């Protein structure tokens, strides 16, 4: 368990760093542009203006084509993450080196580019982070003990994030209280971590975690926790593909008061 936790934290942190590196390289390109002549600068400004009005899909970038027009193109090159944990396995059970590579393939196929070597990519989706593997079935017993496993584990994550000072300030009171509960061996010491995770997952602040929010969560956890999807299915008692605050509370063992607090705390 401890080592799995470490792996998960590493995954979260390395994904974060990767994004930072990408952002830095964009800044660097811009800085290089600064050094160019005034004419070039004008051209670049013009290019940027035209690109800002040209809305490209998330997996495409705005480029200048041979005729001097701006157009949306597929990501030219994906960084090789050189880390198995950033590989992705798709629903069709195909491994890509990174999510970038998957989106690039989808883009090529959409545009009938000759580099499209897997037409299936068009209808494929990301299943989880990590190389495709046999994840095994979640047994009834594993599912039964899963809430305990998950609450303990969320509690440890919140604690680790607290130590690393990696948390949004809005959680300050929640975290300080969680620390005290943990140190005093309170029975549900993980309570605040369960509250925190729901708020983190519910990005739209509508007091429920929708399908998209859930799949993002499942993707990064599935390799470590093959019971995560069956567990979440089990939490969704009304089968609407969303997990409400009430459903989250009852499947993770929160008291009614905590669920009421959750509803007001997360909805802004
Ligand atoms: C997916 O591929 C992996 C590795 O090739 C294999 O071990 C696993 O059994 C496959 N899973 C399914 C559901 O086919």
130 CA to centre of ligand 1 in angstroms: 12
Pocket of ligand 1 (CB under 6 A): 93, 132-134
Quote the CA–CA distance of 209 and 32 in Å, as a whole number.
43
Return the best residue to mutate from 88, 134, 135, 223 for the ligand 1 pocket (most ligand atoms within 8 A of CB): 134
Looking at every residue in the chain, the average pLDDT score rounds to 84
93 CA to centre of ligand 1 in angstroms: 6
Least confident among 6-15, 58-67, 86-95, 151-160: 6-15
- Residue percentage of the chain with pLDDT more than 70: 85
Residue nearest to atom 8 of ligand 1 (CA): 134
pLDDT at position 160: 87
Q: Structural domains in the chain?
A: 16-129 (3.30.60.30), 140-266 (1.10.238.10)
92 CA to centre of ligand 1 in angstroms: 9
Least confident among 23-37, 43-57, 175-189: 23-37
117 CA to centre of ligand 1 in angstroms: 20
Return the best residue to mutate from 92, 95, 132 for the ligand 1 pocket (most ligand atoms within 8 A of CB): 132
- Are 208 and 263 in contact by the 8 Å Cβ rule? The answer is no
Helix (H, G, I), strand (E, B) or coil at 154: helix
Give me the helix-helix angle, 2-34 and 38-53, nearest 10°: 130
- Are 170 and 236 in contact by the 8 Å Cβ rule? The answer is no
Helix (H, G, I), strand (E, B) or coil at 10: helix
Residue 8 banded pLDDT, cuts 50, 70, 90: low
């Amino acid at each position: 368990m401890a080592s799995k936790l470490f792996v998960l934290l590493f995954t979260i942190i390395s994904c974060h760093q990767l994004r930072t590196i990408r952002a830095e390289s964009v800044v660097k390109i811009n800085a290089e542009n600064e050094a160019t002549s005034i004419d070039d600068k004008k051209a670049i400004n013009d290019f940027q203006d035209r690109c800002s009005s040209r809305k490209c899909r998330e997996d495409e970038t705005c480029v200048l084509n041979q005729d001097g027009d701006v157009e949306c193109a597929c990501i030219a090159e994906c960084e090789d993450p050189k880390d198995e944990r950033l590989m992705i396995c798709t629903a069709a059970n195909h491994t890509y080196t990174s999510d970038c590579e998957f989106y690039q393939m989808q883009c090529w196929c959409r545009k009938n580019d000759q580099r499209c070597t897997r037409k299936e990519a068009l209808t494929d989706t990301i299943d989880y982070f990590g190389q495709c593997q046999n994840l095994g079935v979640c047994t009834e017993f594993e599912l039964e003990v899963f809430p305990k496993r998950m609450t303990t584990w969320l509690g440890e994550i919140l604690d680790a994030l607290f130590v690393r000072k990696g948390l949004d300030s809005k959680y300050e009171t929640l975290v300080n209280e969680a620390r005290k509960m943990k140190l005093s061996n309170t029975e549900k010491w993980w309570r605040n971590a369960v509250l925190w995770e729901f708020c983190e997952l519910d990005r739209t602040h509508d007091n429920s975690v929708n399908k998209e929010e859930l799949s993002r969560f499942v993707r990064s956890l599935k390799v470590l926790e093959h019971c995560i999807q069956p567990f979440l299915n089990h939490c969704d008692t009304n089968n609407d593909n969303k997990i409400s605050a009430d459903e989250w509370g009852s499947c993770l063992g929160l008291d009614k008061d905590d669920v009421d607090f959750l509803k007001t705390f997360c909805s802004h």
